[in-house]
A and B are shown apart, each in its own frame.
Chain A
Amino acid sequence: AQSVSQHNHHVILSEAASLELGCNYSYGGTVNLFWYVQYPGQHLQLLLKYFSGDPLVKGIKGFEAEFIKSKFSFNLRKPSVQWSDTAEYFCAVNAGQAGTALIFGKGTTLSVSS
């Protein structure tokens, strides 16, 4: 069965600091990888996704993630965070074939102080 592990439960940063959130998954086959963000009181928004090709993917709001197949990782990065990045971040994975659900990590709470 697939599983997703997010190592950081709560990250606290000052504005302009760099961010890296860890995500590892366990699944032996082809996977699709996603990062979602959930701002306080709002619904999920897709930050970025990886299906194939260039393992470095760029998303919205200056976020990027790198897929390292050998490490089963898909870490999220942002060079300089802003106060408005305060939110819950979820890594998710599904198998490559159609009709399979997303499996979510437990989430990482990011708090950015101004």
Chain B
Amino acid sequence: GAVVSQHPSWVICKSGTSVKIECRSLDFQATTMFWYRQFPKQSLMLMATSNEGSKATYEQGVEKDKFLINHASLTLSTLTVTSAHPEDSSFYICSAGGAGIRYNEQFFGPGTRLTVL
């Protein structure tokens, strides 16, 4: 299957700072990437959908000014958590799909654990 990487795998930052998380499709072109958030022992909640070259579509309740998503190329999407606070601590997971991927299947990255002190 296709491979999706995320960097960093974990990050600890101080409250008020910004953190950027990268999601890369390594062996296919991802026309669409998705960002999810997972709280401990809970399910994945969709945050936003991004299509290459256009603005991301955010789910209801997700602050677009706080969670900046950029999908500038067919292999890279970034999520920037601006002015992070302890309540933003979570596991962030991206997935990627593409026009050449069968049946709208998506491939998940390994996730990034963010801890805000």
Contacts and interface: CB of A to CB of B under 8 A. Distances in A.
Say if A and B assemble together: yes
B43 A99 contact: no
Interface stretch (A11-19, A71-79, A103-111): A103-111
Interface residues of A, number: 25
Contacts of B99: 98
Contacts of A114: none
B103 A101 contact: no
Secondary structure class of chain A's binding surface, majority of residues: loop
B34 A102 contact: yes
A98 B96 CA distance: 11
Interface residues of B, number: 26
Contact of B104 (A43, A96, A105, A109): A96
Nearest to A90: B43
A101 B44 CA distance: 11
Given A49-B105, A104-B44, A99 B95 contact: no
A32 to B, nearest CB: 6
A51 interface: yes
Nearest to A109: B41
Interface of B: 1, 31-32, 34, 36, 41-46, 49, 51, 93, 95, 97, 99, 102-106, 108-111
